[in-house]
Each structure stands twice: as structure tokens, then as C-alpha cells.
Amino acid sequence: MESVDFASGAGPSPAAVAAAAATLGLEPSGEETVQLAGLLGGAAAGPLARRIAAARPLGREYPFALALAPGEPLLTGVIDLLAEEPGGGRLLVDYKSDRVRPQDDLERLVESEYGVQRLLYALAALRTGAPRVEVVHWFLERPGEPAAALYEASDGARLERRLAALVRRARAGVYEVSPRPDRALCLTCPGRRELCSWGELQTLREHPRDPAEARPEDPGGRLRLF
């Protein structure tokens, strides 16, 4: 996605996918390269791709750093794509390769699993002086249904308060377990093996079930600290 030419309306060929994989030391099968090329091609041919092509690019893999207050630690990250649209608004796109099913509610998924990321990205973009920011989570398996949230410059203080509250909770040691664990969310979590109340059957699965899942041994929904 870093190198897709959105103005062309086409994604890379399977051969190009294989070549890109080789530079990373990966050897996908022929079937996998066809599948990946199909995902990228579907995204590149969609309406969001045309919108990106019409905007003024500000950067791909765009790094940012911000502090919520003087003396507070920096919050850092990298935005997949940031562009400026007519009127000065910012379009911020985060690509998602999650496996999603036709019945999955993408907005609900973003809010539950990527809500903090959305707030942080919005605040970072607003601090560039933009009058408004639209944060789009773009699921490549359903490219015609981007999950978007729009923020105005006047929302900046509210976002700061919400993020500050989350930081306070983190400092207090309140680490809630996701009700919908899966491999994409949990694989790199440092507490997955020893501290989490979910087992690997749940944390390493491809798809979480739809309903919120409570477990008798974890009524509080928090990491076990013993």
C-alpha cells in the first residue's frame, strides 16, 4: 500500500507482490500472491482511492509525536497516509488487513479495537492546524465500506481530555482485556502468555465471535496480576 498509485485505479500484479515480498525475505505461494494482488486491486479501484488521488499528498508512513501537556511523555506513531483536501481539511487513512466477514460491523470493530488509535491520529492531525480531520480505517477485504470519523478543530480539547483520561488509567494499572480477542490484536501483546485471562485458543484465533464474551474466571475483564 505504500507504493500503490491511486491515480491509476489499479493495484500491483501478483508478480509485483512476489517481488515486494522477496525484499522482506518472504516467500508467499502463488495463490497467496494472487489473493494479495486482488485485495490491493480492489482497494485501488474504489471510490476512496479516487478521493486520495484527488487530494494533495502530505506523506505516506507519516511519523508524528505529541504530548498532552508540558512535561508529559511523547505519544508517537506512524500514519499510513495523510493528505490535504480542498479547504485545508486532512484525510487520514489507516489500512487494515484484518480478516472481516460480510456480517461484521466495521464501525463497531474500529471503535472497540482501534478507538484509541483513532483519537490519537485525529489529535495529531488537528495539531497541524487543519480545520477538520477525517480518520478513515480502510479494511482491504471490504474496500467499499471505509469506517470514517470526522473531527473539527473545536474537538481538539475534547480529544485531549479523553486521551488524558486513558493515560491516567494506564498509569493506575487498569488494563482491561478485550472482550473479542484474536490473533491480529493479541499476537504481540507482552501479557498474552502469562497475564491474560484468555487462553491461546482465543488469542491466536483468526476471528472473534460477535457477542461480548465474559468468562467466569475473569469477571472483571482485567489482566491477572498474580
How far apart (Å, rounded) are the C-alpha atoms in residues 166 and 66? Answer: 15
> Among 147, 132, 55, 135, which residue's Cα sits nearest to residue 92?
135
Q: Would the pLDDT of 213 be above 90?
A: no
Most confident stretch, 144-158, 170-184, 192-206: 144-158
Task: Return the CATH number of the domain spanning residue range 46-171.
Answer: 3.90.320.10
Q: What is the pLDDT of residue 221?
A: 40
Residues in the chain: 226
Query: Which backbone phi and psi does 21 adopt, to 5 degrees?
Result: -65, -40
Is residue 149 within 8 A of residue 134, CB to CB? The reply is yes
Q: What is the pLDDT of residue 222?
A: 40
**pLDDT tens digits, one per residue of 76-102:** 999 999 999 999 999 999 999 888 989
| Domain edges within the chain | 1-45, 46-171, 175-226
| Section 63-87 average pLDDT | 91
Pairing of strands 90-96, 132-139: parallel
> Cell 485505479 belongs to which residue?
9
> Among 151, 159, 192, which residue's Cα sits nearest to residue 175?
192
